[in-house]
A and B are shown apart, each in its own frame.
Chain A
Amino acid sequence: MSHIVGIDLGTTNSLIGIMDSGFPILLADSEGFRLTPSIVHFPASGEPLVGRAAGRMKAIAPERTVFSVKRLMGIRQGETEKDHFPFQVVEAQGKAGIVIDDRRFTPEEVSSFILRKLKSDAEKAMGESITRAVITVPAYFNDLQRQATKRAGEAAGLTVERIINEPTAAALAYGLDRLKDRSKIAVYDLGGGTFDISILELNEGVFRVLSTNGNTRLGGDDIDRDLVRLLEERITARHPEIRYELKDPLFAARLRELAHDAKLRLSEEAAVQIEIPFLPGNRRFSYLLSRQELEAITRPIIRRTRSHCLRSIDDAKVAPRDLDEVILVGGVTRMPIVRQLVAEIFQRLPNTSQNPDEAVAIGATIQAGIISGEIQSVVLLDVTPLSLGVETFGGLMNVIIPRNTTIPCRAGEMFTNAVANQRSMRIKVLQGERELAKDNWELGSFEIEFAPVPKGVARVGIQFEIDADGILHVLARDTNTGKEHVLDLASAVDVSDEAVEQMIAESLDHAFDDMSERIWTETSIKSNELLPAVKSALTLVGDQVTEESRQEIEALVSAVAEALESKNIQRLKAANAALDQGTQHLATLLIDRAMAEAEKRRTDR
């Protein structure tokens, strides 16, 4: 049997590793690099370029150089971030597609080019054919995204032996030389495009995931995007005349590279000098970007990870103080501000002993070793991250396998007919945490047919099985006839539902014939909410602000009252905004007060 490789198919970089004499090692390409940028360049003719060579084309031919394709894997209609990419992304039949010249590629196909290069590099390094692999995915990837990843592997000529979650892989890398230990750890994995938090229990070689949570649309790419915006503002401030030329795709691509590099350097340095000698119109631009400025835009993005961490902690039923370590994974965790946030959430300094770029690939390789039998003493018990269920009467979601259930697992549910002589029923399978069926991801639906019987008599058992890859298989069993069959989840999304919802939303928007009347109404409603709120705030916490401050606020209040009289939309909007801005400190005082009261209520109980 051939060796099984471990592959980290990352948003920004991909890596491949193999077991060598009981140790996981990462393989390098012909230039000696273990990291292969997840970039694919499609020249006008000839084979696509993958990796560093493709990376060099990003700023030269941005419309035919695909990066962060992981963000497009397995996503549904309406989820495509078409505008964020310089290459053309389209939607057809509910799936994303990438268009280069007149060729269309699925995200799986593009990913398979990356996998093919990794496979080829490994074969050169090992001098043998590589056909089997373990590939990693974000823990929070849903069923469709996992299937897409598996297909990408198969298209690259690999048998995908296992799909494994990235934070779990990182935990394996951390725990491989701590197999006698018993401990509880958290893995905070913030990569280029995705965020995962997992909490695991290590128990003498058994790695058991207690809970996992995350966001598959949150990562370093978002920081890059906001940094680019900041630089565009700075450039425009100095050279307003070239504002529109900044949108030129070539310039935008070069600016993106610059921003990305500056971000990396600011993890080590307090400030970096940004030089743009290639500004449109032969201008130069020079700017000293400080770490503080970067942190100001980074903070709101990474703060979004906090709620996922809190949920994961809650689901695992552990308190932060019960954890022994918090492991950091993903290049973005090199940023000091990220480390501070993690320390604050988990009330301990994070463990930075793992190489944040390589830990996941090492873990995938270890899993490969477990499957091939080279590593005997380790077992990985992962979980499914999202609840699985079916739609029931009233449009609700009925959970059949709750999130964070250890996999592989199975659960059955009995269905019966709601109406006499019903010949079939439609079962819609959903994945997600929302109470309403329509707010969750639909994995597919199927029809079950049965002989006509009175209401409540048909007995069809549906068995839901989640395999070790976290992918769902459904089996139906008519208990009256004993017949069993495997069900194919129809994966096409019902396009017309989406279109109908969009139409309804639009028609409500256009209910007001006079657009300006609608805006005036909205703006004055806001004023009429703000004015009493300010009055009430001053009563509650007015004694905590200076007299000068009070007078300023009174003046802003008068400005709003006058603007209401004037019936001038712009004036009222500006007055509202000024009052809002001018009362932010009151807002903070109010929140402090509310917290203090809550505390008092708690202690009085």
Chain B
Amino acid sequence: MTDFFAVFGLQPRPVIDVALLSNLFASKSKSVHPDHGADGDFATLNEAFQTLAHPVTRVWHLLALSGGEAKPTSARAEVNAWFGQVANSLQRFDQMLQPLSQETSSLLRAIKIGEGQVLVDELEKLSEDLGAEKQGLLEALAQIDARWPSDLAADRSALAQIACDLRFVEKWLAQIAERRLRFQELL
């Protein structure tokens, strides 16, 4: 399989400088983009960039390069604990949003917006907490990166678990962000 780190001349490790990666992507594009090099492999460069730019996909790729690692079936209990709250808040928000978007009376709309704002704030608080959770996961990643390269089985399974947890947290953050935008659109 292609070593995406090697495509950019980077050492394979859990944490990389994404700004540097962006610049490398930009400058390498000049030579392999279909508009410039008929035999350039832009798709691979692009795939490498997309993979390395995000911690979750980067970690999976890193593990795959060195023999693979089983994907955990679920997030850690502490992360899973968020799921109930998130699902509940999102559902109540969606139930509020539909009638609000169809309301034509100014007064009723204003009242619904007031109610909606409370739910949005709830989601914002959740978003902050999830943000802190995400920070924690990224820090754990940095700690493993500090002692990289490592062959320890414990480190490898820890990476796999972090990636799994991070994927859920990021998905929830995205779902909340989407709701925030939809509410803003109605104002």
Q: Which residues of A are interface residues toward B (Cβ below 8 A)?
A: 203-206, 208, 306-307, 310-311, 314, 367, 370-371, 376-377, 379-381, 405-411, 465, 468, 526, 529-530, 533-534, 536-537, 580, 583-584, 586-588, 590-591, 593-595, 597-598, 601-602, 605
A21 to B31, CA, bound (A): 23
Q: Say yes or no: is B136 at the interface (Cβ < 8 Å to chain A).
A: no
Are the CB atoms of A591 and B30 closer together than 8 Å?
A: no
Q: List 24 A-B contacts (CB under 8 A).
A: A204-B27, A306-B185, A307-B181, A307-B184, A310-B184, A377-B30, A379-B26, A379-B35, A380-B33, A381-B29, A406-B46, A410-B47, A468-B34, A468-B35, A583-B106, A586-B110, A587-B109, A590-B110, A591-B114, A594-B113, A594-B117, A595-B117, A598-B120, A602-B121
Task: Among B106, B107, B109, B111, find the residue whose CB has the most chain A CB atoms closer than 10 A.
Answer: B107
A-facing residues in B72-130 (Cβ within 8 Å): 105-111, 113-114, 117-118, 120-121, 124-125, 128
Are the CB atoms of A206 and B49 closer together than 8 Å?
A: no
A353 to B107, CA, bound (A): 44
With A314-B177, A598-B117 in contact, do A584 and B107 touch (Cβ < 8 Å)?
yes
Contact partner of B26 (CB less than 8 A), chosen from A204, A408, A580, A605, is A204
A310 to B182, CA, bound (A): 10
Collect the chain A residues with CB atoms within 8 Å of residue B128's CB: 605
Collect the chain A residues with CB atoms within 8 Å of residue B23's CB: 203
Collect the chain A residues with CB atoms within 8 Å of residue B114's CB: 590-591, 593-594
B122–chain A nearest beta-carbon distance, Å:
10
With A307-B184, A410-B47 in contact, do A533 and B111 touch (Cβ < 8 Å)?
yes
Collect the chain B residues with CB atoms within 8 Å of residue A311's CB: 181
B79–chain A nearest beta-carbon distance, Å:
22
Q: Is the interface of B mostly helix, strand, loop or mixed?
A: helix
B158–chain A nearest beta-carbon distance, Å:
27
Collect the chain A residues with CB atoms within 8 Å of residue B7's CB: none
Task: Among B23, B111, B124, B125, find the residue whose CB has the most chain A CB atoms closer than 10 A.
Answer: B111
Contact partner of B50 (CB less than 8 A), chosen from A370, A381, A406, A597, is A406
Are the CB atoms of B34 and A529 closer together than 8 Å?
A: no
A306 to B46, CA, bound (A): 31
Q: Which 9 A-B pairs have the closest CB atoms?
A: A587-B110, A594-B114, A307-B185, A590-B110, A206-B26, A587-B106, A583-B107, A594-B117, A203-B26
A148 to B56, CA, bound (A): 38
Q: Which residue of B lies closest to A433 (CB)?
A: B178
A474–chain B nearest beta-carbon distance, Å:
15
Collect the chain A residues with CB atoms within 8 Å of residue B113's CB: 590-591, 594
Q: Say yes or no: is B147 at the interface (Cβ < 8 Å to chain A).
A: no
A588 to B113, CA, bound (A): 11
Are the CB atoms of B108 and A530 closer together than 8 Å?
A: yes
A51 to B49, CA, bound (A): 45
Are the CB atoms of A206 and B29 closer together than 8 Å?
A: yes
Collect the chain B residues with CB atoms within 8 Å of residue A536's CB: 111
Are the CB atoms of B185 and A584 closer together than 8 Å?
A: no
B115–chain A nearest beta-carbon distance, Å:
8
Q: Say yes or no: is B42 at the interface (Cβ < 8 Å to chain A).
A: yes
Collect the chain B residues with CB atoms within 8 Å of residue A580's CB: 105-107
A377 to B33, CA, bound (A): 12
B62–chain A nearest beta-carbon distance, Å:
19
Beyond contacts A314-B177, A586-B107: 13 other A-B pairs, Cβ-Cβ < 8 A, are A203-B26, A307-B184, A406-B46, A408-B34, A409-B43, A409-B50, A410-B47, A526-B105, A584-B106, A591-B113, A594-B110, A597-B117, A598-B120
Q: Which residue of B lies closest to A601 (CB)?
A: B121
Are the CB atoms of B108 and A529 closer together than 8 Å?
A: yes
Q: Which residue of A lies closest to B31 (CB)?
A: A379
Are the CB atoms of A591 and B110 closer together than 8 Å?
A: yes
Collect the chain A residues with CB atoms within 8 Å of residue B124's CB: 602
Are the CB atoms of B35 and A370 closer together than 8 Å?
A: yes
Collect the chain A residues with CB atoms within 8 Å of residue B107's CB: 530, 533-534, 537, 580, 583-584, 586-587, 590
Are the CB atoms of B50 and A598 closer together than 8 Å?
A: no
A49–chain B nearest beta-carbon distance, Å:
36
A267 to B105, CA, bound (A): 34
